Structure 1
Amino acid sequence: MIARLSGALAEVAADHAVIDVGGVGYLVQASSRTLSAIGPVGGSVMIFTEMQVREDSMTLFGFGSAAERDWFRLLTGVQGVGGRVALAILSVLSADELRKAVAAGDKTMVSRANGVGPKLAERIVRELKDKVGGLVLGPAALASAPTTGAASDAVSALTNLGFRPAEASAAVAAANDELGDGASLDALVRLALKKAAR
């Protein structure tokens, strides 16, 4: 099983990236959220992965954080949710937004994803409601984790650069406090990197 990849980003497309690890290019399917935060082609990247093996295919899925990977595993455990549908959900909702939607039973939020109708959204919310507590981010970490879209994307960007999720969350939270909630993703990432390097 391949748990993560570290290497050079060789290519980024609409639904996948190719990561060069020691001369071998791994094609990794990923959410648009992860692909937008992965960094420039040619740069070094670390990405969490999950491999799905079927009779006729082997597919590697990539994630910007362990929390996103955990949600992917939970989502694909629901009947009717395959890898592509799970990625569609993770493209429109961050791990934290998805946790809140499931905890609140908000099927409308989940149904915003392509390929997710009302019935499937209801099934996802119903089946995952009791499983939300078992994710990588515990209640204490969630309380201090950044909740704005730009902040959660900044955390994802830092984890892609190799920072541990707790380090990334702390650095982005400190940057967010200094810059305010209206800060852009670029400004947050720059300041968070400075704070993480201290």
Structure 2
Amino acid sequence: MIASLRGTVLSVGLTNAVIETGGVGMSIQATPTTLSGLRVGEETLVHTEMVVREDSLTLFGFADTDERDSFRTLMSAKGVGAKLALAMLAVHTPNALRRAIASQDVAALTRVPGLGPKGAQRVILDVADKLGPVTGDDLGAAQTAAQSAQGVEAMSDGGPEPHADVVAALVQLGWNEASAHQAVSSVTADAADGGQEPDMAAVLRASLRWLGGGHRG
């Protein structure tokens, strides 16, 4: 099993990145939070989880072991596959998931695309305290949110049409196209006109927060 990757970042997309190690480019799927910390041309270390299916072999990358271990634990719940587990970590930090599960906050869990009330109840029952206690104070999440907000405030008005790549990334994470369009349109409409090119990663993270806040389109 590949537990981690250390190498040079070759490319970073909205839902994946390629890291070269030992002359081989390894593609990883990751959350926007993890991807936002990668820089093309720089060396990085990501913790990984390999998911093997009959027709696919996918490597998921995480910024730290807490996020990776949470991914593993979430997949132990009935009905939760890799895609849904990744979507849960795209919407909520591990600590936020711990709080939601401990308090049986179904509403918070159902903000994740593809997770309905029954599925949320199943996650609460199956995961219970397996994610462990709440750790730290979510400073990393707060910093990421601040960086996202700054990026959105600095970008120029992209016009009435949503950014197609961001919409596609949201759909890939599980939201329907209408909700994805509405989220991106709302985020870009609220952005200040700073005269700069839009930061796609910032738009994606801000759209995830918008959708995670309960907006459904």
For the aligned residues, what is the CA RMSD? 1.9
For 2:101, the equivalent position in structure 1 comes to 102
Contact kept? 1:33, 1:153, Cα under 8 Å: no
1:147 match: 138
Deviation at residue 126 of structure 1 after TM alignment: 1.8
Structure 2 equivalent of residue 21 of structure 1: 21
1:63-90: CA deviation from partner (whole Å, max 9, x where unpaired): 1110111110011111211111111100
Q: Which runs of 5+ in 2 are unaligned?
A: 147-217
Deviations 1:120-150 (A, max 9, x none): 11111121113233xxxx67xx2xx132532
Identical counterparts, % of pairs: 44
* 2:41 alignment partner in structure 1: 42
Distance 1:87 1:98 in 2: 12
Output the TM-score relative to the length of structure 1.
0.68
Aligned pairs, how many?
145
SS in 2 for 1:17: strand
C-alpha separation between the residues in 2 aligned to 1:16 and 1:58?
14
Which runs of at least 4 in structure 1 moved beyond 6 Å after TM superposition? none
Alignment of 1:45-194 (within 5 A): 45-133=44-132, 142=135, 145-148=136-139, 149-151=141-143
Amino acid of the structure 2 residue aligned with 1:13: G
Post-superposition offset of 1:94:
0.6
User: Which residue in 1 is equivalent to 2:3?
Assistant: 3
Cα deviation for residue 153 of structure 1 reads 7.2
Distance of 1:50 and 1:84 partners within structure 2: 13
How far apart in 1 are the matches of 2:21 and 2:38? 16
CA contact (8 A) 1:101 1:109 kept: yes
Cα distance in 1 between the residues matched to 2:144 and 2:126: 25
Note the C-alpha offset of 1:93. 0.5
How many angstroms does 1:39 deviate by? 2.4
Structure with more of its chain in helix, by fraction: 1
Choose 46-55 or 123-132, whichever is displaced more: 123-132
Distance 2:138 2:56 in 1: 37
Q: Unaligned regions of 5+ residues in structure 1, if any? A: 155-198
Retained in 1: the 8 A contact 2:11–2:40? Answer: yes
Q: CA deviation at 1:9?
A: 0.8
Counterparts of 1:51 and 1:58, CA distance in 2: 7
Q: Does the 8 Å CA contact 2:33/2:144 hold for their aligned counterparts?
A: no
